[in-house]
């Protein structure tokens, strides 16, 4: 019987899911949280004095890092939308030291010497579009609230305001030639999506893909779903609205607002029966990226899971840095804590969480990130590290005292390809890959064996028999486990060796299986390359 062969060519393959693990014994997938580093931005200006962070996007473009982030500050204006929440802009060459350029775009309390680029926006995300004209190079998604300090916002085609705070929640597309001067293109969806909706051009599909916070109110398997992640595909982001599915069952309120939704957007991620505290656990937001340093399809998401307290069981007592009235009365059913997990997917539709543990955990109670953490949208590579940025809040959701200052944006450092690893037990383990066909002359491994660990690799044929081969010059070269040279220590790209050689050119184009055996080691990725 013919066996399926995966053509991997010279493309890097990651161990983020179980696709490469067959007949595994003493091996498990392990999520590797990044290391928290310094806060790179804190609320230093009056227009940021309530908080900064929450939702933010990092993009590297033309030799600089560009950051758009949510900020809020007090205002003497009676127009709550004017300075309730704004989008601010910062830039950096090294990712450590950030500048807030004076953009002159928005007037704040009588002056334009600030880094605000949009006002009345809420929970914004930004993308750099590889297609389309320069005037629409940057695109963003956000609700837009009409405010006189940003004339462009007056073009917002908004629905009825959503009480009690009279904020609008239709999702708008905005475009910009430079990331600073923005215009509203129109409404992509009329629904109340709320947090961190975003989209990107999927290089695998050659289409655009959007992910939305999606609020539903129904029961599946006995679970009442509220906050979930929805998904759309489309060809042209400027063709508005985007192609959601109309559903007559949606809850349209008497004033015209759309309340809880039905099946307009396919749901691709949600809390399930393995999660605790249901139905009081759901997904607040879930930034999704297509991993840029492996050509095959690897999608990563960093969902913020929200445990909102069942206050019939857990009464909320405000901490010293929280507002006791908001904690105990106003937000009785919307108070709780959040942290970030890691989810992975091969195609961006079917998601799994290899381990359901915090990827960006809370800090100590009372620390600046002790109540909530939020992952930023975007990955940055610096040499052999991947940097992300996250924000934290000292207070729990729904308890913030607006007389205080919260938040900040901090740097995270992850090993290249290091999000998930195939970990060999201390006493040993092994596994075999499916059949692959490759095109490189050497096999490189990203592996950490430290001092007491090691990894060996054997190449097998379709029948599972270790391979011996002759190259053109004649000498026999074997690829069996007995001939494999053990790898120790910590490497980002170490060549596998067998006795006196590391050349696999004789096997190019031939179906083979890789059989790994090791102990006390973490294997992150493998790749066939030609030096």
Residue 202 lies in a domain: yes
Tell me the β-bridge partners of 313. none
Task: Look at strands 267-269 and 429-432 and give their pairing.
Answer: unpaired
pLDDT tens per residue across span 65-75: 999 999 988 75
pLDDT tens per residue across span 99-137: 999 999 998 888 899 999 998 887 899 999 999 899 999
What do you get for the CA distance between the two ends of the chain, in Å? Answer: 36
Predicted local confidence at residue 155, as pLDDT: 72
Predicted local confidence at residue 109, as pLDDT: 84
Residue 1 lies in a domain: no
Same domain for 470 and 504?
A: yes
H or E segment at 325? helix 324-325
Same domain for 19 and 109?
A: no
Residue bearing the bigger pLDDT, 277 or 384: 384
Residues 513, 352, 512: CA angle, nearest 5 degrees = 5
Predicted local confidence at residue 253, as pLDDT: 53
353 pLDDT tier (thresholds 50, 70, 90): very high
Give the C-alpha distances (Å, rounded to integers) separating 337 from 393, 422, 508.
Answer: 10, 31, 52
Same domain for 435 and 395?
A: no
165 pLDDT tier (thresholds 50, 70, 90): very low
Same domain for 401 and 499?
A: no
Residue bearing the bigger pLDDT, 300 or 252: 300
d(CA 304, CA 360): 9
Predicted local confidence at residue 387, as pLDDT: 98
Residue 188 lies in a domain: yes
Question: CB burial class (10 A; 0-12, 13-18, 19+) of residue 221?
Answer: exposed
What is the count of structural domains for the chain? 2
Question: CB burial class (10 A; 0-12, 13-18, 19+) of residue 459?
Answer: buried
Q: Cis ω on the peptide bond leading into residue 329 (within 30° of 0)?
A: no
Average pLDDT over every residue of 291-312: 88
Residue bearing the bigger pLDDT, 5 or 214: 5
Of 382, 417, 452, which residue constitutes the final position of a domain?
417
Range of the domain at 487: 6-30+422-529
279 pLDDT tier (thresholds 50, 70, 90): confident
Residue 151: phi and psi, rounded to 5, are -55, -30
Predicted local confidence at residue 331, as pLDDT: 52
Predicted local confidence at residue 168, as pLDDT: 52
Same domain for 21 and 57?
A: no
Residue 476 lies in a domain: yes
Of 383, 417, 451, which residue constitutes the final position of a domain?
417
H or E segment at 81? helix 80-83
d(CA 149, CA 222): 47
Average pLDDT over every residue of 355-380: 96
Question: CB burial class (10 A; 0-12, 13-18, 19+) of residue 318?
Answer: middle
Predicted local confidence at residue 54, as pLDDT: 85
Closest CA to 362 of 377, 336, 388, 340: 340
pLDDT tens per residue across span 491-518: 999 999 999 899 999 999 999 999 999 9
Same domain for 376 and 517?
A: no
d(CA 317, CA 324): 7
Average pLDDT of the chain is 87
d(CA 243, CA 210): 11
What the block records as the tokens of 109 is: 């309390």
Give the C-alpha distances (Å, rounded to integers) separating 266 from 58, 190, 212, 478.
Answer: 27, 16, 10, 50
Same domain for 99 and 75?
A: yes
Same domain for 330 and 385?
A: yes
Predicted local confidence at residue 240, as pLDDT: 94
95 pLDDT tier (thresholds 50, 70, 90): very high
Closest CA to 398 of 314, 312, 306: 306
Same domain for 366 and 473?
A: no
What the block records as the tokens of 188 is: 């992509």
Same domain for 64 and 159?
A: yes
Question: CB burial class (10 A; 0-12, 13-18, 19+) of residue 509?
Answer: exposed
DSSP secondary structure code for residue 82 in this structure? H
Single pTM value for the model = 0.92
Q: What is 452-514 written as a DSSP string? A: T-EEEEEEE-TTSPBPEEE-TT--EEE-STTTBPPB-SEEEEEE--BTTB---GGGTTS-BEE
pLDDT tens per residue across span 210-258: 999 887 765 544 445 678 999 999 999 999 999 987 765 555 555 455 5
d(CA 65, CA 98): 9
Predicted local confidence at residue 339, as pLDDT: 97
Predicted local confidence at residue 473, as pLDDT: 54
d(CA 208, CA 217): 28
Question: CB burial class (10 A; 0-12, 13-18, 19+) of residue 130?
Answer: exposed
Give yes or no for a contact between 254 and 344, defined as CB atoms under 8 angstroms apart.
Answer: no
Residue 226 lies in a domain: yes
Residue 14 lies in a domain: yes
Predicted local confidence at residue 121, as pLDDT: 85
Tell me the β-bridge partners of 423. 28, 522
Tell me the β-bridge partners of 431. 516
Give the C-alpha distances (Å, rounded to integers) separating 89 from 285, 303, 388.
Answer: 21, 24, 17
Helix (H, G, I), strand (E, B) or coil at 179: coil
The set of residues, in sequence order, having a beta carbon less than 8 Å from that of 174 and lying 6+ positions away, is: 118, 121, 139, 140, 141, 142, 144, 182, 183, 184, 185
Residue 520 lies in a domain: yes
Report the CATH number that the domain containing residue 196 is assigned in CATH.
2.115.10.20
Residues 235, 238, 244: CA angle, nearest 5 degrees = 65
Same domain for 180 and 327?
A: yes
19 pLDDT tier (thresholds 50, 70, 90): very high
| pLDDT at residue 329 tops 60 | no
Give the C-alpha distances (Å, rounded to integers) separating 318 from 82, 208, 321, 334, 336.
Answer: 29, 44, 8, 14, 11
253 alpha-carbon distance from chain centroid: 33
Of 386, 417, 448, which residue constitutes the final position of a domain?
417
**Residue whose pair of structure tokens reads 């959701």 in the numeric block:** 397
pLDDT tens per residue across span 415-424: 999 999 999 9
Same domain for 478 and 333?
A: no
Give the C-alpha distances (Å, rounded to integers) separating 92 from 99, 208, 383.
Answer: 6, 28, 17
Report the CATH number that the domain containing residue 12 is assigned in CATH.
2.60.120
Residue 118 lies in a domain: yes
Residue bearing the bigger pLDDT, 168 or 340: 340
Give the C-alpha distances (Å, rounded to integers) separating 95 from 43, 359, 531.
Answer: 18, 21, 31
d(CA 408, CA 238): 33
Predicted local confidence at residue 516, as pLDDT: 98
d(CA 165, CA 163): 5
What percent of the chain shows pLDDT beyond 90? 66
477 pLDDT tier (thresholds 50, 70, 90): confident
Predicted local confidence at residue 332, as pLDDT: 55
The set of residues, in sequence order, having a beta carbon less than 8 Å from that of 206 and lying 6+ positions away, is: none
d(CA 136, CA 249): 35
């Amino acid at each position: 019987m013919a066996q399926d062969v995966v053509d991997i060519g010279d493309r890097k393959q990651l161990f983020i899911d179980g696709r490469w693990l067959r007949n595994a014994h003493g091996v498990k997938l392990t999520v590797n949280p990044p290391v928290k580093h310094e806060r790179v931005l804190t609320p230093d200006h009056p227009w940021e004095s309530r908080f900064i962070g929450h939702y933010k996007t990092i993009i590297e473009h033309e030799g600089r890092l560009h950051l758009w982030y949510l900020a809020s500050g007090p205002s003497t204006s009676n127009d709550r939308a004017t300075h309730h929440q704004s989008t601010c802009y910062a830039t950096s060459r090294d990712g450590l030291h950030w500048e807030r350029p004076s953009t002159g775009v928005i007037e704040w309390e009588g002056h334009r010497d600030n880094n605000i680029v949009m006002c009345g926006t809420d929970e914004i995300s930004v993308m750099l579009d590889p297609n389309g004209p320069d005037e629409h190079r940057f695109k963003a998604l956000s609700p837009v609230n009409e405010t006189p300090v940003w004339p462009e916002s007056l073009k917002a085609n908004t629905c009825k305001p959503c009480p009690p705070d009279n904020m609008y929640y239709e999702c708008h597309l905005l475009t910009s030639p430079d990331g600073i001067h923005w215009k509203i293109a129109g409404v992509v969806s009329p629904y109340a999506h709320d947090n961190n909706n975003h989209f990107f051009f999927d290089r695998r599909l050659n289409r655009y893909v959007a992910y939305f916070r999606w609020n539903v109110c129904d029961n599946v398997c006995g679970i009442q779903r509220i906050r979930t992640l929805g998904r759309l595909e489309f060809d042209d982001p400027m063709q508005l609205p985007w192609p959601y599915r109309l559903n007559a069952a949606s809850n349209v309120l008497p004033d015209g607002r759309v309340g809880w939704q039905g099946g307009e957007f396919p749901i691709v991620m949600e809390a399930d029966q393995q999660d605790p505290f249901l139905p009081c656990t759901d997904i607040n937001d879930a930034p999704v990226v297509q991993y840029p340093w492996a050509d095959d399809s690897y999608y990563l998401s960093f969902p913020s899971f929200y445990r909102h307290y069942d206050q019939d069981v857990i009464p909320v007592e405000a901490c010293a840095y929280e507002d006791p009235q908001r904690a105990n009365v106003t937000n009785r059913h919307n108070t709780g804590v959040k942290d970030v997990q890691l989810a992975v997917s091969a195609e961006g539709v079917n998601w799994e969480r290899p381990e359901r543990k915090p990827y960006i955990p809370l800090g100590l109670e009372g620390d600046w990130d002790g109540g909530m953490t939020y992952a930023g949208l975007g990955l940055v590579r610096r040499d052999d590290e991947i940097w992300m940025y996250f924000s934290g809040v000292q207070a729990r959701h729904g308890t913030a005292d607006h007389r205080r200052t919260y938040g900040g944006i901090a740097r995270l450092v992850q090993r290249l390809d290091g999000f998930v690893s195939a970990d060999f037990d201390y006493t040993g383990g092994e596994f075999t890959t499916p059949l692959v066909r490759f095109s490189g002359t050497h096999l490189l491994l990203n592996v950490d064996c430290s001092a007491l660990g090691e990894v060996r690799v054997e190449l097998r044929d379709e029948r599972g028999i270790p391979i011996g081969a002759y190259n053109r010059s004649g000498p026999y070269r074997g690829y069996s486990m007995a001939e494999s040279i053990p790898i120790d220590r910590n490497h980002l790209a170490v060549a596998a060796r067998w006795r006196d050689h590391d050349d696999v050119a004789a096997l190019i184009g031939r179906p083979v299986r890789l059989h790994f055996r090791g102990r006390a080691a973490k294997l992150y990725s493998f790749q066939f390359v030609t030096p």
